[in-house]
Structure 1
């Protein structure tokens, strides 16, 4: 058994499952509908696929080496996450009987969930740095780099494709309780506050330099 591969899988699982903007966006969309939640989960996995592909290709190194590009991505990511957070907080403060899918058809909600999940992850500036620093640690000395990093990247994306849809399905399963007016507003408020804080943090870091 490849001990390094097992160790990487454990670390990657912890990284993927760690609550953050991705988790929060999936939960919020799953409250709207199961399809929107699962679509958001797939969007997050798509964002991870982009980050791992960049790390494998070595393009993430360019992003880290050019501070202007990195800070631009930080600001873009912060603005988007902050935007989602403010929308969620406003939704929590606006009384309504049930969680609405913000209008439109089920297909609209699915596309919106997919887009939000993807953009929330792909605009996270810390992800490329994390992958760039983590993946090389699990490439054995003398081993071909490209096949190994592709293997590691596949593990990360596969874990995301398992974890985030499970989160969406669990939230949907608890839907009858979570979609009660008070519970809905509480969850919207918590997730909105978390996204707002994360977005503000992403904005403050580059602007402070």
Structure 2
């Protein structure tokens, strides 16, 4: 592995691991069950795959060229994350069995993970601006870009299921009624704040 690939892997790992809406959704669903946590993790990886494919195809450039489209997608993504936050805060006040049933059955963790990641319009633009920096001058751009995109997807495939499994591992403590309500309140608040930031940002611009 050359030095550029090592550097890119380090940068991409930091981008994937930074706590945000994706991380919070995995933690929230991982508290319900291992299956729900892993499903939301795989959904997020699906979103990453979509974003990297868009970046490789150059479609993400459209979001940069059309600010109104970018703001519309950002607003839509913010509304969805805000919805998840409010839903989590509401479920924190319900009995654990009822909250778990609502999340596992109606909310569909796989879809939650995918939509949360896919509706983040900053992701393809980030990849579009980042990937070319690690393509050596004079080398074919497409094969190298595809390799870089694959690294991002593999990192997501390692990180988010690992978070889900860790939450499940700590499940006995996290699912205790008092701890579960506290964690749901924290994750619900985090999602709500993230959603508000995403909603307000395009409205201010």
TM-score normalised by L of structure 2: 0.96
Given that 2:91 and 2:99 are in contact with CA atoms closer than 8 Å, whether structure 1 keeps it comes out as no
Separation (CA, whole Å) in 2 of partners of 1:118 and 1:97:
25
Corresponding position of 1:62: 62
Separation (CA, whole Å) in 2 of partners of 1:164 and 1:99:
25
Corresponding position of 1:84: 84
Separation (CA, whole Å) in 1 of partners of 2:31 and 2:86:
17
Corresponding position of 1:45: 45
Distance 1:207 1:103, change over 3 A: closer
Given that 1:81 and 1:196 are in contact with CA atoms closer than 8 Å, whether structure 2 keeps it comes out as yes
Corresponding position of 2:203: 207
Corresponding position of 2:157: 161
CA RMSD of aligned residues (A): 1.5
Separation (CA, whole Å) in 1 of partners of 2:201 and 2:125:
15
Corresponding position of 1:19: 19
How many residue pairs are counted as aligned between the two chains?
Answer: 205
Gaps of 5+ in 2: none
Gaps of 5+ in 1: none
Corresponding position of 1:132: 128
Separation (CA, whole Å) in 2 of partners of 1:89 and 1:187:
10
Structure 1 residue 101, shift from structure 2 partner = 2.1
TM-score normalised by L of structure 1: 0.94
Separation (CA, whole Å) in 1 of partners of 2:149 and 2:98:
36
Given that 1:38 and 1:169 are in contact with CA atoms closer than 8 Å, whether structure 2 keeps it comes out as yes
Corresponding position of 1:116: 112
Given that 1:98 and 1:179 are in contact with CA atoms closer than 8 Å, whether structure 2 keeps it comes out as no
